[in-house]
Amino acid sequence: MGKIDRRRRWLLGAGALGAAVICAVLLSQREETSVAPAPAATPANKTSTPAQPEPTAFATNARPVHNAPAGVRQNYIVQAASVDLARRAVEHAGGVVTGDLTIIRAVGASLDSRELATLWEDPVAGLRVYDDAQVKSSASPQPLPETYYPTQVGASSMHTGGVTGRGVTVAVLDTGVWQQKGPLQQSSTGRNPRVLAQYDVILARENPSAYPLLSLNKYSRDINDLNGHGTHISSIIASSGIAATGKYQGVAPGVNLVSVRVLDSQGMGRYFDVIAGIQWAMNQRLAYGIRVLNLSLSAPVQSHYWDDPLNQAVMAAWGSGLVVVVAAGNAGPEPMSIGVPGNNPYVITVGAVTDSYQPTQVSAYRLASFSSAGPTYEGFVKPEVVAMGGHIRAYAPDAGTLAQRFPQWVDLRYPDITMSGTSQAAAVTSGVVALLLDANPGLSPDTVKCRLMDGARPAVHSNGMLAYSVFQQGAGLVNAQDSIYSTASNCANKGLNVAADLSGIQHYGGRANRDADGNYYIMEVEEPAGLLTQLLSPLGSLPLLGQLLVGLASTLDGLLWDGSPPTTDEVTWSGGYTWSNGYTWSNGYTWSNGYTWSNGYTWSNTATPSSTGIEPAAQE
């Protein structure tokens, strides 16, 4: 009877064990099949998405692939019939146990390829090895929106190739930068902080002790941006935010920044403050690697360019080796509406293009109606180039003066502000210049300007003629890729001498003039005198390019303009357009009063003299 009872108990125990094993197998199958749930049915009117890849390392008999170089350990999770067994197996293979996971009978392990192979040579009971896969928060911030303009000016393709503006510093003279720097805090290359210095010119003027001479960190404290314009401009140039498309939101995401506050919370400023800001940037250019000055501001023209103190300051900056990028102004489309310092012949003056709310349709891009046009009083063709400046989205404070004035332009989710103006176009161009200097750090300001113009794409009609005159679009829409690969030289500021200009020895005029019918044109040029004549001249050391023939218009390139505003006709921004005589329309010549408006031009008195500022344009 005892034997029968013992046998019955053994059978019951075996039966229970068998049932437990069956349940465990079923449960295991259920768990493993639940790792990759079946995809939901795809609606007929939508494109199906690729299935998730099979988690091969989680299969029962699968062995994870060791992707690290020989001798370099990777992290794994090693599971066995017990934690102790898993630990002994790892140690026997020569690996390092990084922690216990008793809840799943496993340990964390660090193994190289040889140790991983040893682990499988004599597998312990229940051995399974998993890659220590990465996980991320399901509460990650929503994807950032696409800004489009880096792609529209050929910058995104340069980012892919590693050209991001790294090593270049852009000084932004504006309303400051927001304390919550967001995508301006760290560059795409990891530099943090990448706002290297901040200087408040207004504070320094009002409180001379604000920046003690012997203080080591006096330029490291935040000055904030109570307006929003300065942060917006800085973000266009430098945002390292990545959009949902995988593209950077800024034109030069790897660039460094220096913020110089020269405008107040209302976006207004004084000549003194802007000039003092330029002076500070010149003095600090070596300390912070400043190569570019962005001046997204404008003031009415009050005099010849050489008699204007703000223009004298930007000429000095240019002569010191800084590339100065300025806004043309938002007073277009009338001729001769370029402001100060955009009317300066040396600097890069930028007009604005809008994509007409069709960012991927290049044929829809138009010259913005607000974009100021040339020529200048001295006959120079302006702007040199145009860039995207219509409804430009960028990171900016959501409680600044601009946000309060134009709440309809604010997207509180990020926060971003959408603005239009040549201020924004200048910022896009400063970003392109930073990319150009990243790829070619030894370029002079004149050569940067030359290659920027050489790489630009003018708007043309289907018949190949210019859709806009050079007085409206200059050399065309900036293109980072074409400018970076350009080898052009000596095609900008030819005939100009900034040192002679600043010293008053000689001043210059351009080739533009106006005929009796009110049409603007480019004057023909007589061949220069012989070398002996030039050497005997008291100014023989200065560039002489020939004599302007005031009454003769060049018939090349369709350069005649009647002053009419830009049309809405479909255009092509052509990368294959060839200027029949180079960019000689941008050359400078010894100043004379041989311009038809010389005696009838009225200097603007619509604003307080010696004041400058910003005023957003209407959205286009």
Q: To which residue do tokens 């005892």 refer? A: 2
Q: Which residue in 337, 423, 430, 486 is the catalytic one?
A: 423
229 is an active site residue: yes
Compute CA distances 356 → 88, 237, 390, 535, 587, whole Å. Answer: 68, 21, 8, 54, 33
- Cα four-point dihedral sign 424, 426, 427, 433: positive
Backbone region of residue 45 per phi and psi (left: phi > 0; alpha: psi in -120 to 50; beta: other values): alpha
Q: Calculate helix-pair angle for 422-439, 445-455, nearest 10 degrees.
A: 110
Q: What are phi and psi of 132, to 5 degrees?
A: -80, 80
Per-residue burial over 436-462, b = 16 or more CB atoms within 10 Å of its CB, e = otherwise: bbbbbeebebbbbbbbbbbbbbbbbbe
Tokens matching residue 320: 């010191």
173 and 294 Cβ atoms separated by less than 8 Å: yes
260 and 172 Cβ atoms separated by less than 8 Å: yes
Q: Which residue in 229, 232, 391, 507 is the catalytic one?
A: 229
Tokens matching residue 43: 């609606």
Q: Which residue in 66, 156, 174, 308 is the catalytic one?
A: 174
387 and 352 Cβ atoms separated by less than 8 Å: yes
391 and 398 Cβ atoms separated by less than 8 Å: no
Per-residue burial over 115-153, b = 16 or more CB atoms within 10 Å of its CB, e = otherwise: bbebbeeeebeebbbbbeeeeeeeeeeeebbbbbbbbbb
- AA identity, residue 312: Q
Q: Is 6 exposed, middle or buried (0-12, 13-18, 19+ CB in 10 A)?
A: exposed
Q: What are phi and psi of 552, to 5 degrees?
A: -110, 125
Q: How many CB atoms lie within 10 A of CB 161?
A: 10
Compute CA distances 1 → 5, 6, 14, 478, whole Å. Answer: 6, 9, 20, 101
349 and 415 Cβ atoms separated by less than 8 Å: no
Q: Which residues contact 290 (CB under 8 A, 6 or more apart)?
A: 169, 170, 171, 258, 281, 284, 322
Q: What are phi and psi of 388, to 5 degrees?
A: -65, 125
Half-sphere exposure of 247 (CA within 13 A, CB side): 17
DSSP state at residue 477? B
Torsion of CA 256, 260, 261, 263, to 10 degrees: -100
569 is an active site residue: no
Q: Is 211 exposed, middle or buried (0-12, 13-18, 19+ CB in 10 A)?
A: middle
Q: Which residues contact 512 (CB under 8 A, 6 or more apart)?
A: 374, 375, 376, 379, 380, 381, 471, 520, 521, 522, 523, 585
610 is an active site residue: no
62 and 56 Cβ atoms separated by less than 8 Å: yes
Kindly give the pairing relationship between strand 366-367 and strand 348-354.
antiparallel
Q: Catalytic residue numbers?
A: 174, 229, 423
